[in-house]
């Protein structure tokens, strides 16, 4: 029998706030971080809305000499990791043999873009000597390893918008196998660069105003940024050291659509959800809440709703389903981790965060999406869904520890 895996620490930074408490306070009252895109006022971007980390001063968290080595996405993951490790009651010295698995969809885009601007726009012939180690996709995981003294397995995992959930799933498998007792896992992304925004603009999936998942008048997703981190431990290890157990990762489910690079498959999503239930030994009726992928695009929301109905049958009508992307935006490779933190807080507090900006249900969107206002509910089991471009799906089952 596999070893149960406990969540003992939470860390988060997003457009909603710079720590878990600020994020949860906003989520619990349905407050949205989505506003006008800032920092690109003199550009030709058509992107109007964003969920950016506001009032962020990197120098308050990092020494100037350190900042030269840290892309924005690496800064975010270090801030979230510090909080999660402290929340778990661990010191860096406790983490020597642990693992660090960090998901990212974009990696060091800020660094890449600054470099290309110097070379191609400004016609410079030299770039920063640390451009490679600053911008490489594995930089965030390496920085976590170095700051926390982690000498066990350490790497980056990239599967677009499912990166965080895949990273957590990989960490769970390592703990179950006995390879490590403790893992720092999650995801980070900082997609607000001109080139990346132009690329998203070309996809024509961005909302011109706000994010309205599952609503009839939804117009697309709104990009966000930030990082989410959880400290995972074997239950035995957590109990032995007297740790506070926030929740359990009771099951993981992964699948691939093998069909289309951008158009999601309800069958693939359903397969991942069913796999998570099977892994957790849960029946559909045991689950009370699903933190949906819920991007606010036409294709995702109907496909995800169909997948939920396929897996849960008649019980789907009793589920509470919400998309917190309506508040913190779609943080791409960080989204699943931010949503996992929200799901753990929901379990602990007995409160279901709402789907903000909801108007009326869209065609094919016929579940209880907890519109606008949080709902009190003491419950035991939830799913957190991540479905990525390329048909890459990862679902986590999260359970209360009793």
Average pLDDT, the chain: 97
- Residue 89: other Cβ atoms inside 10 A: 15
What are the structural domain ranges in the chain? 5-240, 251-399
Instruction: Indicate the SS3 state at residue 370.
Output: coil
CATH superfamily of 5-240: Thiolase/Chalcone synthase (3.40.47.10)
Q: If you average pLDDT over residues 333-342, what whole number do you get? A: 98
CATH superfamily ID and name for 251-399: Thiolase/Chalcone synthase (3.40.47.10)
330 catalytic per annotation: yes
Q: What is the mean pLDDT of residues 291-312?
A: 98
pLDDT of 1 strictly over 70: no
Tokens of 226: 């930030």
Q: Which of 12, 106, 154, 161 is catalytic?
A: 161
Tell me the pLDDT band of 3, cut-offs 50, 70 and 90: confident
Q: Which of 237, 330, 381, 401 is catalytic?
A: 330
Residues 339-346: what's their mean pLDDT? Answer: 98
Q: What is the mean pLDDT of residues 367-384?
A: 98
pLDDT at residue 114 is higher than 80: yes
Check if 18 is active-site: no
Q: Which member of 18, 73, 293, 381 is catalytic?
A: 293
Q: Is 293 designated active site?
A: yes
pLDDT of residue 271: 98
Is the pTM higher than 0.95? yes
- State mean pLDDT over 86-111: 96
The C-alpha atoms of residue 380 and residue 350 are separated, in whole angstroms, by 9
Contact 161, 331 (CB under 8 A): no
Tokens 């930030």 belong to 226
393 strand-pairing partners = 255, 387
Asked whether this chain's domains 5-240 and 251-399 adopt the same fold, the reply is: yes
């Amino acid at each position: 029998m596999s070893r149960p895996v406990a969540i003992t620490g939470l860390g988060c930074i997003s457009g909603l706030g710079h720590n878990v408490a600020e994020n949860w306070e906003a989520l619990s009252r349905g407050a949205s971080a989505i506003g006008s895109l800032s920092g690109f006022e003199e550009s030709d971007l058509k992107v109007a809305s964003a969920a950016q980390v506001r009032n962020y001063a990197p120098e308050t968290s990092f020494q100037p000499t350190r900042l030269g080595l840290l892309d924005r996405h690496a800064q975010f993951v270090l801030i979230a990791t510090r909080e999660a490790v402290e929340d778990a009651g661990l010191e860096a010295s406790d983490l020597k043999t642990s693992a660090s698995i960090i998901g990212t969809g974009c990696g060091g885009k800020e660094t890449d873009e600054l470099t290309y601007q110097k070379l191609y726009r400004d016609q410079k012939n030299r770039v920063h000597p640390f451009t490679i180690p600053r911008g490489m996709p594995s930089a965030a995981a390496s920085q976590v390893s170095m700051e926390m003294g982690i000498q066990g397995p350490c790497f980056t995992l990239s599967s677009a918008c499912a990166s965080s959930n895949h990273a957590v799933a990989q960490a769970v498998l390592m703990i179950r196998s006995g390879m490590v007792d403790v893992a720092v896992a999650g995801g980070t992304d900082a997609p607000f660069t001109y080139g990346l925004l132009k690329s998203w603009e070309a996809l024509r999936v961005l909302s011109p105003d706000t994010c309205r998942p599952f609503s009839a008048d939804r117009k697309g997703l709104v990009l966000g940024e930030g990082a989410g981190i959880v400290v995972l431990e074997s239950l035995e290890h957590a109990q032995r050291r007297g740790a506070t157990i926030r929740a359990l990762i009771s099951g993981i489910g992964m699948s691939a659509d093998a069909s289309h690079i951008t158009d999601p498959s309800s069958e693939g999503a359903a397969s991942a959800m069913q796999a998570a239930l099977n892994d957790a030994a849960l029946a559909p009726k045991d689950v009370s809440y699903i933190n949906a992928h819920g991007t606010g695009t036409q294709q995702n929301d109907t496909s995800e709703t169909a997948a939920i109905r396929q897996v849960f049958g008649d019980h789907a009508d009793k589920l509470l389903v919400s998309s917190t992307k309506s508040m913190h935006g779609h943080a791409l490779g960080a989204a699943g981790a931010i949503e996992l933190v929200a799901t753990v807080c929901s379990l602990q507090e007995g409160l279901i965060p709402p789907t903000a900006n909801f108007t009326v249900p869209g065609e094919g969107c016929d579940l209880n999406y907890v519109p606008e206002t949080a709902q009190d509910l003491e419950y035991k089991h939830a799913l957190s869904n991540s479905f990525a471009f390329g048909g890459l799906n990862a679902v986590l089952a999260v359970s209360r520890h009793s």
